[in-house]
Amino acid sequence: MDHNTDISAPHSMGTTIIGVTYNGGVVLGADSRTSTGVYVANRASDKISQLTDNVYVCRSGSAADSQIVSDYVRYFLHQHTIQLGQPATVKVAANLVRLLSYNNKNFLETGLIVGGWDKYEGGQIYGVPLGGTIVQQPFAIGGSGSSYLYGFFDQAWKEGMTKDEAEDLVKKAVSLAIARDGASGGVVRTVIINSEGVTRNFYPGDQLPLWHEELESHNSLLDILGAPEPMSI
């Protein structure tokens, strides 16, 4: 056994991802920052990827690893849907994700949240963290930004929310995490999945609430000073 590895330090994963169930479906949310070291490689990434018409996955950790896992699962689910003759269930999608994560646990560094709606069990959220454990939860949080949200969800989560309450919770949470996590940032994207279908939403910074020590944004200082522009001679 290797005694030098600090086994109690989880890998930090740039991103904040969230999945929440409500009465009727699920709401998935994520930030949009992809970083390589300190540089922000993509400030408007889409971390919520489609697996089937009714199942989406939030990706965190290594961008490459999470993309390849979701690509393989999309491919397998496509074939599975053809064979089955009807939409795949969320549970099947989540288990495919688990299989890849578990069997390649030594190579992969990605934490995923699978969320969707099917006619058998309604809205479901499955967390698949590092290592390939699969855990069905009423809500799941992941990524480095999630550290700042455990307390928030312990207090703000309640059973049986409406669609709007759930989306507001997700928006608020991602925005709070972005405020404190350097590896999370950009815009808040949400995806709502229910029996009626899928709705994608996009919330840029100015549509989100302001938190502690954050200020209203302006185009220029000059707008605030109210001073007339200096005359040019």
* Residues with catalytic function: 15
Name which of 78 and 105 has its Cβ closer to other proteins. 105
Q: How far apart are CA 122 and CA 133, in angstroms?
A: 22
Residue choice 71, 75, 131, 200 for contact with other proteins (CB under 8 A): 131
CB atoms within 10 A of CB 182: 13
Cβ of 76: how many Cβ atoms within 10 Å?
A: 18
Residue 24 has, within 13 A of its CA and on its CB side, a CA count of 13
Task: Please select the residue that binds other proteins; options are 39, 83, 85, 107, rule is CB under 8 A.
Answer: 107
Shorter beta-carbon distance to other proteins: residue 11 or 78: 11
DSSP 82-101: HHHTSPPPHHHHHHHHHHHH
Question: Which of 36, 79, 133, 162 forms a contact with other proteins (CB under 8 A)?
Answer: 133
**Nearest to residue 139, comparing CAs of 10, 15, 29?**
29
Q: Is 68 in the site for other proteins (CB under 8 A)?
A: no
- Write the binding mask 143 to 182 for other proteins: x where contact by CB under 8 A, - elsewhere: ----x--x--------------------------------
| Chain-centre distance for alpha carbon 25 | 16
Contact between 10 and other proteins (CB under 8 A)? Answer: yes
Interface residue list for other proteins (CB under 8 A) = 2, 5, 7-10, 98, 102, 105-107, 127, 129-135, 137, 147, 150
